[in-house]
């Protein structure tokens, strides 16, 4: 089986927005700060947690403490407050019939595995690359390349499906095909600016296109 499909997680396969926003609020309030508005948080989802806290105004010396408090709360609520996006399971079941599958995310791999197991999808993925597995997260190509090496994949038959420009840029930098979906956190205008190709509404549309393309 030469075809390989990699998936981003948040905004591509799952919706954990409520858990993320709540955990940021708990972290900020724990340190006596006003929590950012929901839209201020969601515009940064997809970036590593430490970068998100910096973007939301946390000084460097306090970032690690904020991340730790976030993760403590997120671990408690993530399963209850995370759902599959529409057609996500169908897309994975279909893709698994034709390709080797992997996940490449800026979310912590340990949390990602727990969520995917809870949602009944982990068994379909041969590799999962999370934040702690790399030095340079997306949009750097390192996590994509690491996944391809683990899968012994042929770059000529590899795709990455994601909902942000970080996904698209990481795929292109790694030398594989990038497929954008509008199911997540980036606007269609933003995705157009980095993808330059057709944008699909969800992962099922994207997987069906990939299968036809091969």
- Please write the tens of the pLDDT for every residue from 173-200: 999 999 999 999 998 999 999 987 889 9
Q: Where in the chain is the domain with CATH 1.10.150.240?
A: 17-77
The DSSP element (H or E) to which 151 belongs, if any, is helix 142-151
**Cα separation values, 32 from 17, 35, 75, 91, 151, Å:** 23, 9, 21, 43, 45
pLDDT > 60? residue 1: no
Confirm if 161 and 203 have CB atoms less than 8 A apart: yes
What pLDDT, in 10s, does the model give residues 47-101?
999 999 999 999 999 999 999 999 999 999 999 999 999 999 999 999 999 999 9
Smallest CA-to-CA distance from 53 within 28, 22, 76 is with 28
Q: What is the mean pLDDT of residues 162-177?
A: 96
pLDDT > 60? residue 161: yes
Report residue 196: phi and psi, to 5°: 65, 15
Q: Where in the chain is the domain with CATH 3.40.50.1000?
A: 4-15+83-213
What pLDDT, in 10s, does the model give residues 10-49?
999 999 999 999 999 999 999 999 999 999 999 999 899 9
pLDDT > 90? residue 152: yes
Residue 131 confidence (pLDDT): 94
Write down the pTM of the prediction.
0.94
Residue 197 confidence (pLDDT): 80
Measured CA to CA, the distance from residue 23 to residue 68 in angstroms comes to 10
Q: Class assignment of domain 4-15+83-213? A: alpha beta
Judge whether 8 counts as a catalytic residue: yes
Distance of CA 102 to the CA centre of its chain: 11
Domain 17-77: give its CATH code. 1.10.150.240
């Amino acid at each position: 089986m030469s075809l390989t499909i990699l998936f981003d997680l948040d905004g591509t396969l799952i919706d954990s927005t409520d858990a993320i926003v709540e955990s940021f609020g708990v972290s900020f309030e724990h340190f006596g700060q006003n929590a950012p508005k929901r839209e201020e948080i969601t515009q940064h989802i997809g970036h590593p947690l430490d970068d998100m806290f910096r973007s939301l105004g946390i000084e460097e010396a306090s970032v690690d403490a904020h991340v730790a408090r976030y993760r403590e709360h997120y671990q408690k609520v993530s399963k209850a407050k995370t759902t599959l996006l529409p057609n996500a399971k169908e897309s994975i079941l279909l893709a698994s019939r034709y390709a080797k599958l992997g996940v490449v995310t800026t979310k912590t791999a340990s949390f990602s595995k727990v969520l995917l197991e809870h949602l009944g999808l982990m068994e379909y993925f041969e590799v999962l690359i999370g934040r702690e597995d790399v030095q340079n997260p997306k949009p750097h190509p390192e996590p994509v390349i690491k996944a391809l090496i683990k899968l012994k994949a042929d770059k000529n038959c590899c795709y990455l499906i994601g909902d942000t420009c970080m996904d698209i840029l990481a795929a292109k930098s790694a030398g594989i095909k990038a497929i954008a979906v509008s199911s997540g956190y980036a606007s269609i205008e933003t995705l157009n600016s980095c993808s330059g190709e057709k944008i699909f509404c969800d992962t099922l549309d994207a997987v069906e296109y990939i299968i036809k393309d091969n």
